Amino acid sequence: MKAFVNVSIQRKILLLTLGLGLFTSVLIAAVIAYRDFNQAQKAFSTRLNLEVKIISDNLGSAVVFQDYEAIADTVASLSAETAILSVKVTDSSDELILAKEFQAQRGQSQTADFNAPILVDGERVGSLLVSTYNEDLARVLKDVFLTVAICLVFLLILVVALIMFLGKYISKPIVDLYHIAEVIGDTKNYSLRVNIQSGDEIGRLAEMFNYMLESIERRDENLEKQVIQRTLELEKLAEEFRHRAFHDSLTGLPNRALLGERFNLAVEHADRQQNMFGCLLLDLDNFKTINDTKGHNYGDKLLIEVAERLKATVRKEDFVSRLGGDEFVILLIDIDNVETLDEVLKKILASVSEDFYVNDELVKTGVSIGASIYPYHGSDINSVKRKADVAMYRAKDAGKNCFQIYSPEMQEDVKHRLMIQTDLQQAINEEELILYYQPKIDLKTKKIAGHEVLIRWQHPKEGFLTPAGFIPFAEETPLIIELDYYVLRKSCETLSRWQKMGLKKYSLAINLSGRHFTNFKIVNFLKDYICDYRIDPSWLEIEITEAVLINDPEVAQNVVDAIKSLGVRLSLDDFGTGYSSLNYIRTLPIDCVKLDPTFIRHIQDNEQDQKLISGIVSLGKSLNLEIVAEGVESFEQLVMLESFGCDYVQGYYFQKPVPEAVLLDWMKHFDYAHYQKS
């Protein structure tokens, strides 16, 4: 059965049709044979019964008279019947009178006997017994076989026709369907179709199959379209990511990563052309201040403007990138000589120095540019860029808003800078740093009001250094913080000593770097020192500049407030040099403003400066602020400041910054009247 289930539909139909045909023909033949046989049987016995009856009727007198000849003649009439085996005639006492055997064909198993009484006037005088074999059965069987054979021939023809019909309309379409499905399964070619056109279930099945294929094909097409779409989207995204990875999101300029790549290309190009290229490092001068005072958004917009201007100033083949913050790098391709480089540098400087308009507001910025040249200043990006960096620092040192082209001597500066930075740590530990003091004179009382602490360094190799020789380098590292802690501790020691010496109240003003104002550490140090040295906090004065607000103005403001709440005095140093000085006066809790020496320097012959100072003084007074004029070097300056109502003066005219011993000695002999003579 299992084997049958697995054979092909064509074979199944063939086998079923054949089997059914055979079964039907045998059945039909059997029915016909059975019916024919029964009819023949009946006809045979009716006929023999009749014949036996007629003969027995004719035998009456012959039996009564024992006329054997007549009996035999009468019986002989039966010889026409081929199926008779024997005939027996008996008398009334059943004594055999005649027995006759016939030449019928033997071997037939089935026999039948026919009996009839021999009557004379209704009285039985004997009996007739006829034995026969069923001759008709054989004949019938022959007929049956013939019928079956004919039936089979017809049936075969019918079956072949049926198979052809079924094959054409049922099995072939199914097999075709199967083959197409198999091919599609193997090739995944959904564009194939089944060609069956009939209205029956198979036709409908084929239609549905084709419809399904069409749907799959359409879905495949959609899927393919979607895949193409997705691939395009992914490619776009990848491109975007690539762009992001290599570009600065703010200005859209290439970033550090792309600079590396382009630098290598520039090297290849320059080597091929036997030419050189310039590497410029640009740093905006007052960007941090602009950013802090105007906000980051404003700063960002300015950076975008600067980037645009830089791009517009250089040629297309040059490469402008942003390293971050306000630092840009430009590669100037195909520079023939230093003069060309010089010209481009001037052009860039002029372009960035021009006024910018951000949010319809005028803003000025400068740029310090350091330039180096490939291949003269290095063969790889690091060395070439480092040289540009050195030159850039030199430009900053030279007063900003200018450019410098690297020269080997500059390297000495870098070495020096590094040496100072390395030695400074040891200097703090070894107490090589010395505190100098510069007195501050009260113009009302004509007395010494206090002193500013100014650091000096007795360097083992470099000799005696003023702050200009190391403070700017210290400011580049966290060393400045340690340095200030040192100065603060030493100043507290001095104050404590002076208190013990019974000196009258002299305040000590200490300069703090803007770097302290990002957290509250300085507040804790101050608290500890005041406590440890048991000093009156009002003897301490902290000098800050607007630089304290550079990083995070909110935190800085809080730190300044906390210092103030310790009872320490606060003064705003270098007033007038910064960006928007008046703003700081309002926001910071200061007691005192220190006018920068640049205001004082030309006071006697500059009316503008005079107006400015008298204005600041009256403004300070209205805000309850004390005004200190720094850098007073002459009697004329002193007179003028006095006339403006300035509260304190500080400068070489009275005393330079000096060591403690010199100061104490000078204090002993101080007499204001001595300074009132020119």
The residue ranges that bind Ca ion (CB under 5 A) are 511, 543, 573-574, 630
Residue 461 has φ and ψ, to the nearest 5°, of -105, -40
Shortest Cβ distance from residue 486 to Ca ion (Å)?
17
Give the CA distances from residue 522 to residues 424, 484, 529, 536, 560, in Å, rounded to whole numbers and listed in that order: 20, 10, 10, 18, 10
By a kind-dependent CB cut-off of 5 to 8 A, residue 60 interacts, out of Ca ion, ligand C2E, none, with: none
CA-CA distance, 25 to 18, in Å (whole number)?
10
The alpha carbon of 297 is separated from its chain's Cα centroid by a whole number of angstroms, namely 28
By a kind-dependent CB cut-off of 5 to 8 A, residue 438 interacts, out of ligand C2E, Ca ion, none, with: ligand C2E
Nearer to ligand C2E, 299 or 657 (CB): 657
By a kind-dependent CB cut-off of 5 to 8 A, residue 657 interacts, out of Ca ion, ligand C2E, none, with: ligand C2E
By a kind-dependent CB cut-off of 5 to 8 A, residue 454 interacts, out of Ca ion, ligand C2E, none, with: ligand C2E
CA-CA distance, 592 to 450, in Å (whole number)?
13
- Find, among 510, 522, 537, the residue nearest to 454 by Cα: 510
Nearer to Ca ion, 331 or 449 (CB): 449
The single-letter code of the amino acid at 264 is N
- Find, among 339, 353, 283, 343, the residue nearest to 315 by Cα: 343
Nearer to ligand C2E, 167 or 467 (CB): 467
Residue 124 forms beta bridges with which residues? 119
Shortest Cβ distance from residue 573 to Ca ion (Å)?
4
Shortest Cβ distance from residue 452 to Ca ion (Å)?
6
By a kind-dependent CB cut-off of 5 to 8 A, residue 651 interacts, out of Ca ion, ligand C2E, none, with: ligand C2E
CA-CA distance, 626 to 317, in Å (whole number)?
58
Nearer to Ca ion, 283 or 630 (CB): 630
Shortest Cβ distance from residue 245 to Ca ion (Å)?
46
Q: Can you give the binding site for ligand C2E, defined by CB under 6 A?
A: 438, 454-455, 466-468, 471, 480, 484, 487, 511-513, 543, 573-574, 597, 630-633, 650-652, 657
By a kind-dependent CB cut-off of 5 to 8 A, residue 260 interacts, out of ligand C2E, Ca ion, none, with: none
Query: How many other β-carbons are positioned within 10 Å of the β-carbon of residue 466?
Result: 13
By a kind-dependent CB cut-off of 5 to 8 A, residue 553 interacts, out of ligand C2E, Ca ion, none, with: none
The alpha carbon of 548 is separated from its chain's Cα centroid by a whole number of angstroms, namely 41
The alpha carbon of 175 is separated from its chain's Cα centroid by a whole number of angstroms, namely 51
Nearer to ligand C2E, 258 or 453 (CB): 453
Report CA dihedral (64, 65, 68, 71) to the nearest 10 degrees. Answer: -50
Nearer to ligand C2E, 385 or 490 (CB): 490
- Find, among 393, 372, 397, 392, the residue nearest to 382 by Cα: 372
SS3 string, 396-465, reads: HHCCCCCEEECCHHHHHHHHHHHHHHHHHHHHHHCCCEEEEEEEEEECCCCEEEEEEEEEEEEECCCEEE
Shortest Cβ distance from residue 654 to ligand C2E (Å)?
9
By a kind-dependent CB cut-off of 5 to 8 A, residue 449 interacts, out of ligand C2E, Ca ion, none, with: none
By a kind-dependent CB cut-off of 5 to 8 A, residue 631 interacts, out of ligand C2E, Ca ion, none, with: ligand C2E
Nearer to Ca ion, 262 or 594 (CB): 594
Shortest Cβ distance from residue 262 to ligand C2E (Å)?
40
Shortest Cβ distance from residue 429 to Ca ion (Å)?
25
CA-CA distance, 251 to 673, in Å (whole number)?
62
CA-CA distance, 183 to 468, in Å (whole number)?
90
Shortest Cβ distance from residue 570 to ligand C2E (Å)?
14
Nearer to ligand C2E, 308 or 633 (CB): 633
Contact 401, 623 (CB under 8 A): no
- Find, among 545, 519, 517, 542, the residue nearest to 529 by Cα: 542
Nearer to ligand C2E, 75 or 454 (CB): 454
Shortest Cβ distance from residue 486 to ligand C2E (Å)?
8
Nearer to ligand C2E, 404 or 513 (CB): 513
Coil, strand or helix at 502: coil
**Please, what's the largest Cα pairwise distance for the chain?**
214
Shortest Cβ distance from residue 612 to ligand C2E (Å)?
18
By a kind-dependent CB cut-off of 5 to 8 A, residue 285 interacts, out of ligand C2E, Ca ion, none, with: none
CA-CA distance, 56 to 64, in Å (whole number)?
12
CA-CA distance, 592 to 513, in Å (whole number)?
17
Nearer to Ca ion, 128 or 658 (CB): 658
Helix, strand, coil % in the chain, rounded to nearest 5 = 55, 20, 25
Nearer to Ca ion, 51 or 573 (CB): 573
By a kind-dependent CB cut-off of 5 to 8 A, residue 282 interacts, out of ligand C2E, Ca ion, none, with: none
By a kind-dependent CB cut-off of 5 to 8 A, residue 51 interacts, out of ligand C2E, Ca ion, none, with: none
Question: Which residues lie closer than 8 Å to 91 by C-beta, 6 or more apart?
Answer: 63, 97, 125, 126
> How is residue 357 written in tokens?
């308009």
By a kind-dependent CB cut-off of 5 to 8 A, residue 578 interacts, out of ligand C2E, Ca ion, none, with: none
Shortest Cβ distance from residue 395 to ligand C2E (Å)?
21
Shortest Cβ distance from residue 366 to ligand C2E (Å)?
21
Shortest Cβ distance from residue 574 to ligand C2E (Å)?
6
Nearer to ligand C2E, 135 or 452 (CB): 452
Contact 283, 396 (CB under 8 A): yes
